[in-house]
Amino acid sequence: MEEGLQRKIEEMFGELKTEADFWEAIRSYNTTRQAMRHELARDHSPNPNNDTDAVAELTEVITMVRAEICRRFNIVSPADTPRVAFGKELPPPPAGMRYYHSWYQEIERTINQQRYKETICSGCPFSQGMKYFDYMAAAAPCGRWSGFIRLEPLNVCSLLRFADPERGGFTLAGLKQAITDAGGDAVVTKCRQTTERLQTPAEYCLPD
């Protein structure tokens, strides 16, 4: 690894403080590497030689970040995780430690829960919950829309901002009526409380 890159990684380690910070970093690097590998596999990369080198460099970075995670937070690395037959449970990790993949899923779940609370969907009866909520893409599965719907911004219902009423979207009055039909006045109240908590712009709040 080049000395300059090594120094940048060490500087990054000084800036990353929490488990969530490191999770964000490793997730970002993994996502970037996966996208580059995909482009190379499909022969869509404009500079395949450079991108091949970049993937190799990213792999080195990911290895270093993962090692720092394991060192700093008392995590058993993937290389040191016992191998078990498919469908079998891992033995308990050493006292005070967690397996890397368990750690990764735990932090991902915590971040998703927090991010989901920051979305307008968290107070909506049409939301399919956070199980399939995509934190990185800020996209949520919606019961009134086919597939995932992207939230831009997080505190505004995208059915109001982007969707044509003839294709499943809503006017404010139409959305209020649909919510009332789905759960009555109590659910309408919950939706209003959510817009207040998230400081949704008035033009996207349910009418009285």
Within-domain flag for 101:
no
Q: Are 104 and 124 in contact (CB under 8 A)?
A: no
For 99, the 3-state DSSP assignment is strand
**What per-residue string of b and e applies to 167-193 under the rule 16 or more CB within 10 Å gives b?**
eebbeeeebbeebbeeeeeebbeebbe
Contact 115, 121 (CB under 8 A): no
CB 125 within 8 A of CB 179: yes
Q: What are phi and psi of 162, to 5 degrees?
A: -120, -25
- Could you tell me if 57 and 116 lie in one domain? no
Domain annotation covers residue 83: no
Domain's final residue, options 77, 103, 120: 77
Closest CA to 101 of 58, 129, 69, 56: 69
Q: What is the pLDDT of residue 181?
A: 93
Q: Which of 77, 93, 123 is the last residue of a domain?
A: 77
- Would 142 be classed as within a structural domain? yes
- In whole angstroms, give the CA distance from residue 102 to residue 92: 11
Residue 31 is assigned to a structural domain of this protein: yes
Query: What is the domain extent for residue 28?
Result: 1-77
Both tokens of 167, joined, read 């294709």
User: Based on the domain organization, do 70 and 124 belong to the same domain?
Assistant: no
Phi/psi zone of residue 158: left (φ > 0), alpha (ψ -120 to 50 degrees), beta?
A: alpha
Boundary (domain end) residue, out of 77, 100, 131 = 77
pLDDT tens per residue across span 32-84: 999 888 888 777 666 767 768 888 889 999 999 999 999 999 999 999 999 99
pLDDT at 165: 66
Q: Residue 141 gets which letter from DSSP? A: E
Q: Are residues 122 and 197 in the same domain?
A: yes
Same domain as 116, residue 200:
yes
* Confidence grade of residue 167 (pLDDT, cut at 50, 70, 90): low
In a domain, 144, yes or no: yes
Residues 67 and 150 placed together within one structural domain of the fold: no
Residue range 97-156, pLDDT digits in tens: 999 999 999 999 898 888 889 999 999 999 888 877 876 677 788 888 777 778 888 999
Structure pTM? 0.76
Number of structural domains the chain divides into: 2
Is there a domain that residue 36 lies in? yes
